[in-house]
Structure 1
Amino acid sequence: MFYGAVLGATIVVGTSVWAESENEKKASPDASPQAVLPLEELRSFVEVFDRISTDYVEPVENKELLEGAISGMLSSLDPHSAYLPPKNYKKMEEHTTGEFGGLGMEVGMEDGFVKVISPIDDTPAQKAGVKAGDLIIKLDDHPVKGKSLADAVKIMRGKPGSKITLTIVRQGEDKPIVKELTRAIIKVKSVKEQLLNDGMGYVRISQFQMRTGEDLVKAIEKLEKENKGPLNGLVLDLRNNPGGVLRAAVEVSDAFLNDGLIVYTKGRVKNSEMNFEAEAGDLMEGKPIVVLINEGSASASEIVSGALQDQKRALIAGRTSFGKGSVQTLIPLNNGGAIKVTTARYYTPSGRSIQAEGIKPDIEIDQVKVEKLQAPDFTRIKEKDLSGHLDGENEDEESTKKLTKEQKASQKALEELLANDYELHEALSLLKGMYFTQQMKQ
């Protein structure tokens, strides 16, 4: 059973949609119903506090006891509500701006082990080959079993440049996998772009940060400049994107819509109910879009894919997403810390709640392992081996010779990308089919 939550902002990026009103939540009395104090239960709390303070085998600071009580209160609610002490709150703010230290992966707890929800692009975890779904059973020489997620995260943290060894159990592998990672300052570029064949664009969003919407616009403008004209279609890659800022998800969805509902939220208090509508200005001007998702796509990723799917603006391809349909609000406290509380559920334009269900793709793309076949040992005689053969006149080869070093490098990178990424290759094929169908109708 999956019960863990994201606790360490220096190592992970939470599968959370952050609400906008973080600094406004020291709200007026009208913001929520007046709570009735449970006096009998509070007496029991005071009694326990007093007993621990006087009878526990070692002295315990009052602050430590109270913070532990707050933490337990929140963690008993759901996997995503948590108490953030002042130091952790500061680090949580760092990851929403895209720079933090650690290994670069989103983690939770499952059956007593650390479960990798998603590695983040261009981080030690991703470069070492850590995959979504991996179970970490040992950290250096420390068994994970019996530790809390906070304890495990504390071990994974460390000075940039220092090393840690992860022992991993992976589905389909007979033996545990051992990987050595070097901790680093994680600078996450949330948006990357690549021009594909036939004027098709590829944009990868690895997580949703405050500036992701703005960076998406710049990425598409860059692709159009490289293409010397508007793109014919776009693959939007949200695979293994664990989520992030709600506003960024709304901005990315809005970038491809001219009108209509994007997402709405419902909760117990009035200010948790929000509706987000699209404004005119489709960056792709109606050209086809394929959105790639998988089991590591969560939260804000599901808002975008759900909105574009319900509005029939994009074809969703891949595998069913993670299924996190709740909104967390960061509420600052007087002690410099904060509480992260689940305040609402979000719904797609058609009224679907994705909580524990996920976004089901329109086109399923199975996960496959791509391997290059070995050439046979014997050699075959080809035309060029025959005596007196004619030389070819290949126009493509001539044009290739005229390419600059940068263009050749870009072309080689594209060939490698498509050769090694089966899901992207399939998405591009779908996109081309959608484009040609669209052109035939015009």
Structure 2
Amino acid sequence: MRPRVVLTIASIFCFLGFRGVGNAEPLPGSLFEFDQYKDAMWKAVASEPCLSDIVETCDTARAEMIYWLHALHLFQYPLSEFCDVLDQKKSKTNGEILRMFDPFSRFAQRQPARNSQGKIGAMIHQVSGGTFVLFVSKDGPAQKAGLRSYDQIVKINGRPTASTISGVLEQLRGATGTRVAVTLLRDGVLISKTIQRSAWDQEFEFAVIGQVGYLRLYNFEKPQALLDLNRTAFRKFLEKDIRAIILDFRGNPGGTINMAMLFLGFFQTRGTAFWFREPFSKNWFEGRSAGDTGNLLFAGVPLVVLVDQYTYSSAEMVAGSLRANRNAKIIGRNTGGKWAATVSIINHEGRLFYLTTEEWYLPDGRSVRFGGISPDIYTHPNDCKNAPQQPTFRDSSRSAYYLQDCDISFAYSFLLSSGQIK
């Protein structure tokens, strides 16, 4: 039998906000400011006898974690269920307890503000054979410095490249305006390049390659990007009367579900885009695309979607929905398999943690949890020797720039061979 809650002076202080808890300043950029929920948090935790020691010791960090796990996961059982977890895991940290629920609920390091981080405009890929430049964005800092797709990076600022992709990205990071020196291996020859990091923060890039519109979307985070897409890329595609579209989601980490649904509205009519359910719930909900038959810009235009192992979350959802509802052909590598929608919270100590709020599924009810989305045509990022020769276009330099990318070249060849373009 669990003990009753006894509200001592210490626990009353917790409720009233002493020990600095209630005096915490609202955190800038926080999704949930501490002062807005601290009273509800302490009342919820104190209502369960087995959690009384958290109230007694004023363990705010653990109280927050339990409060949000319960509030955002919408558990089908009472807070008392956490007692069994805490009893079994008394020696575990809050982060380890979070990860018991799913692999995406976790504490994380807060990153510097995005506008203070310089960008190099390149996508980096790591395989057992080394670290490679997978894609260099048109007119970005890396391209201006002379980097090319499939260059191997052997040193960064004179030091060997890190053994993990996160380590490599850390080596490449730096403030806007600073420089980073890289040593590359290209065609068996070592060459050195210096990249000046910039505030370059492109949301997308596009090109017209013959009869094909090419669009690379870097994330699904900013709805403003959709307005810019409509004003620039889509207008250009309509002016050029393109016959097919290549959508490039390689390296796209996802973003908001709302933006993903709005993006789908350009290509497909209302229909099941995905299914989702709350963790530990048996209730399923349908997500429907926002397209309207009279407003579709590209109804019936053949689609090819490029993906890789760094395609995650809502980017996977869009790719899967387009294949199911628009018969889009997916080319590349298996996607990352992030099946959860997460929300970020900054706690009273300024620590960032993520909680899963929903699990999502493809239109046919399958999860991407195991292996991600498998492509219809598998390509290897370094297998350029098998990429077919492409025709020369009037804007030969710009088209050739994109067609030197193996995945784009294979996608273009698929459209040619299937008779969808000439």
User: When the two structures are superposed, what TM-score results if normalisation uses the length of structure 2?
Assistant: 0.62
Q: Tell me the equivalent position of 1:66.
A: none
Are the aligned partners of 1:292 and 1:317 in contact in 2 as well (CA < 8 Å)? Answer: yes
Q: Tell me the equivalent position of 1:244.
A: 255
Q: Tell me the equivalent position of 2:209.
A: 196
Deviates more, 1:305-314 or 1:316-325: 316-325
Which of 224, 237, 242 aligns to 1:231? It is 242
Q: Tell me the equivalent position of 2:289.
A: 278
- Output the amino acid matched with 1:236: L
Q: Does 1:420 align with 2:391?
A: no
* 1:133-148 equivalences in 2 (<5 Å): 140-141=158-159, 144=162
Aligned-residue offset at 1:197? 1.7
Aligned-residue offset at 1:138? 7.2
Q: Tell me the equivalent position of 2:118.
A: 101
* 1:275-314 equivalences in 2 (<5 Å): 275-279=286-290, 280=292, 281-314=295-328
- Output the amino acid matched with 1:161: G
Aligned-residue offset at 1:267? 3.4
Q: Tell me the equivalent position of 2:222.
A: 210
Per-residue displacement from partner, 1:252-304 (whole Å, max 9, x unpaired)? 22221112111222332669975320231422021222222234433332111
Per-residue displacement from partner, 1:98-137 (whole Å, max 9, x unpaired)? x8435567789999xx988976736556767587998988
- Output the amino acid matched with 2:178: S
Q: Secondary structure at the match of 1:209?
A: coil
- Quick one: structure 1 residues 209 and 100, their matched pair in 2 at CA, closer, same or farther if it must change by over 3 Å? farther
Aligned-residue offset at 1:155? 5.5
Q: Does 1:345 align with 2:384?
A: no
Which of 149, 160, 164 aligns to 2:176? It is 160
Q: Tell me the equivalent position of 1:63.
A: none
In 1, Cα distance between the equivalents of 2:100 and 2:120?
27
Per-residue displacement from partner, 1:139-193 (whole Å, max 9, x unpaired)? 7548857x996x87666543333344567999xx999x88665452343222222
Aligned-residue offset at 1:207? 2.5
In 2, Cα distance between the equivalents of 1:257 and 1:344?
24
Are the aligned partners of 1:136 and 1:144 in contact in 2 as well (CA < 8 Å)? Answer: no
Per-residue displacement from partner, 1:27-62 (whole Å, max 9, x unpaired)? 7976533433546568757xxxxxxxxxxxxxxxxx
Aligned-residue offset at 1:317? 2.5
* 1:12-411 equivalences in 2 (<5 Å): 32-33=74-75, 34-36=78-80, 38=83, 40=87, 69-70=93-94, 74=98, 80-84=104-108, 88=111, 91=113, 94=114, 100-103=117-120, 121=137, 124=141, 129=147, 140-141=158-159, 144=162, 156-165=172-181, 182=195, 184-198=197-211, 200-211=212-223, 212-224=225-237, 226-227=239-240, 230-268=241-279, 275-279=286-290, 280=292, 281-367=295-381, 368-369=383-384, 411=395
In 2, Cα distance between the equivalents of 1:345 and 1:427?
31
In 2, Cα distance between the equivalents of 1:78 and 1:168?
39
Task: Give the number of equivalent residue pairs.
Answer: 343
Are the aligned partners of 1:132 and 1:296 in contact in 2 as well (CA < 8 Å)? Answer: no
Q: Secondary structure at the match of 1:424?
A: helix
Are the aligned partners of 1:160 and 1:182 in contact in 2 as well (CA < 8 Å)? Answer: no
In 2, Cα distance between the equivalents of 1:136 and 1:427?
30
Are the aligned partners of 1:84 and 1:338 in contact in 2 as well (CA < 8 Å)? Answer: yes
- Output the amino acid matched with 1:83: F
Are the aligned partners of 2:119 and 2:200 in contact in 1 as well (CA < 8 Å)? Answer: no
Aligned-residue offset at 1:308? 0.7
- Quick one: structure 1 residues 142 and 253, their matched pair in 2 at CA, closer, same or farther if it must change by over 3 Å? same
Q: Identity over aligned residues, as a percent?
A: 20
- Quick one: structure 1 residues 225 and 242, their matched pair in 2 at CA, closer, same or farther if it must change by over 3 Å? same
- Output the amino acid matched with 1:159: A
Q: Secondary structure at the match of 2:301?
A: coil
- Quick one: structure 1 residues 431 and 22, their matched pair in 2 at CA, closer, same or farther if it must change by over 3 Å? farther
Q: Secondary structure at the match of 1:234?
A: strand
Q: Tell me the equivalent position of 2:390.
A: none
- Quick one: structure 1 residues 22 and 260, their matched pair in 2 at CA, closer, same or farther if it must change by over 3 Å? farther
- Output the amino acid matched with 1:158: G
Per-residue displacement from partner, 1:361-388 (whole Å, max 9, x unpaired)? 223445432599xxxxxxxxxxxxxxxx
- Quick one: structure 1 residues 30 and 191, their matched pair in 2 at CA, closer, same or farther if it must change by over 3 Å? closer
Q: Tell me the equivalent position of 1:64.
A: none
Aligned-residue offset at 1:340? 1.6
Per-residue displacement from partner, 1:186-207 (whole Å, max 9, x unpaired)? 4322222222224x32222133
- Output the amino acid matched with 2:246: V
In 2, Cα distance between the equivalents of 1:419 and 1:143?
28
Q: Tell me the equivalent position of 2:61.
A: none
| Structure 1: gaps spanning 5 or more residues | 1-20, 46-68, 373-407
User: When the two structures are superposed, what TM-score results if normalisation uses the length of structure 1?
Assistant: 0.60
- Output the amino acid matched with 1:428: Y
Greater RCO, 1 or 2 (C-alpha within 8 Å, sep 6+): 1
Give the aligned CA root-mean-square deviation in angstroms.
4.9
Q: Secondary structure at the match of 1:286?
A: coil
Aligned-residue offset at 1:307? 0.5
- Quick one: structure 1 residues 325 and 132, their matched pair in 2 at CA, closer, same or farther if it must change by over 3 Å? farther
Are the aligned partners of 1:288 and 1:435 in contact in 2 as well (CA < 8 Å)? Answer: no
